[in-house]
């Protein structure tokens, strides 16, 4: 039997609580019933995210991978292990929604491309949910922009000029200090490469990431995670 379709969240009244938004988002079927660009998701949706009105850190990632899709737990894979190492926090803190929100650009695993890599995040999620959810998390002080999709969407949302935001992940991450120190950006933004094993070569070629960026990131996270 086909599950009932999900109506567009624009019907949610302004000021809807984060709990109500999250409950509706977890039942979202937009990419099946009303897909952008004409192509529905190739499998049944399973939104995976973590939000709280008290979270002080928000991780804006790409989309759940196949392991997170199976487990229903964000970053439940080697990428998550590396990300937690970057942040210098354990799983208990990472999965404490009262302190850390995880709001990927796509809530569901997008499927695989012809080469076995993950497809881009579905566009329906950001269009339909992100602004409302971010507005309902007023305590967020640090926004981690993980990967190109998150960086482009959020820096455009925050009206950061392209000349300052950078073109592509490499250039944007290299300009991390200018973005991090920009007092006009609220919350504070920190661009990061995706923690996938596919980026191990980039990390080896760019030792400044570990020597310069990570100490600043870890110190800020330690202050906010208490």
User: Over 80: is that where the pLDDT of 103 sits?
Assistant: yes
Instruction: Provide the percentage of residues in the chain whose pLDDT is more than 70.
Output: 92
Residue 5: inside a domain, yes or no?
Answer: no
The neighbouring-strand residues paired with 118 are 112
Rounded average pLDDT over 59-85: 94
Which of the residue ranges 27-36, 81-90, 97-106, 138-147 would you say has the lowest mean pLDDT?
27-36
CATH of the domain at 137: 3.40.470.10
pLDDT band at 2 (very low <50, low <70, confident <90, very high): very low
Query: Which structural domain, as residue segments, surrounds residue 55?
Result: 16-225
Q: Specify if 11 maps to a domain.
A: no
Does residue 121 lie within any of the structural domains?
yes
Please indicate, yes or no, if residue 4 is contained in any of the structural domains: no
* Residue-level pLDDT at 8: 33
Q: Quick check: is 8 in a domain?
A: no
The answer to whether residue 26 scores a pLDDT higher than 90 is yes
* pLDDT of amino acid 29: 93
Residues 108 and 46: their CA atoms lie apart, in Å, by: 5
- Within a domain: residue 181? yes
Q: Which helix (H) or strand (E) holds 67?
A: helix 66-71
- Per the domain annotation, does 58 fall within a domain? yes
Point out which residues pair with 101 in neighbouring strands. Answer: 58
Report the number of distinct structural domains present in the chain. Answer: 1
Lowest pLDDT segment from 49-63, 86-100, 159-173, 209-223: 159-173
In a domain, 73, yes or no: yes
User: CB neighbours of 154 closer than 8 A, spacing ≥ 6?
Assistant: 60, 143, 145, 189
Residue 161: predicted pLDDT: 85
Q: What's the mean pLDDT when you consider all of the chain?
A: 90
């Amino acid at each position: 039997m086909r599950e009932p379709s999900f109506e567009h969240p624009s019907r949610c009244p302004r000021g809807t609580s984060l709990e109500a938004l999250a409950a509706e988002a977890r039942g979202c079927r937009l990419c099946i019933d009303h897909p952008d660009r004409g192509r529905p998701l190739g499998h049944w949706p399973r939104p995976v995210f973590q939000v709280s009105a008290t979270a002080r850190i928000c991780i804006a990632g790409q989309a759940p991978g196949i392991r997170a899709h199976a487990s229903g737990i964000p970053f439940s894979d080697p990428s998550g292990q590396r990300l937690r190492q970057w942040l210098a926090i354990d799983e208990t803190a990472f999965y404490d929604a009262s302190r850390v929100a995880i709001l990927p650009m796509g809530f569901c695993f997008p499927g695989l491309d012809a080469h076995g890599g993950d497809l881009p995040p579905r566009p329906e999620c950001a269009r339909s949910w992100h602004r409302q959810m971010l507005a309902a998390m007023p305590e967020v002080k640090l926004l981690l922009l993980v990967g190109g999709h998150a960086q482009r969407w959020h820096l455009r949302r925050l009206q950061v000029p392209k000349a300052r935001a950078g073109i592509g992940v490499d250039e944007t991450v290299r300009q991390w200090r200018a973005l991090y120190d920009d007092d006009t950006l609220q919350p504070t933004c920190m661009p990061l490469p995706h923690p996938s094993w596919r980026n191990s070569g980039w990390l080896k070629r760019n030792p400044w990431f570990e020597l310069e960026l990570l100490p600043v990131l870890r110190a800020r996270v330690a202050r906010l995670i208490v």
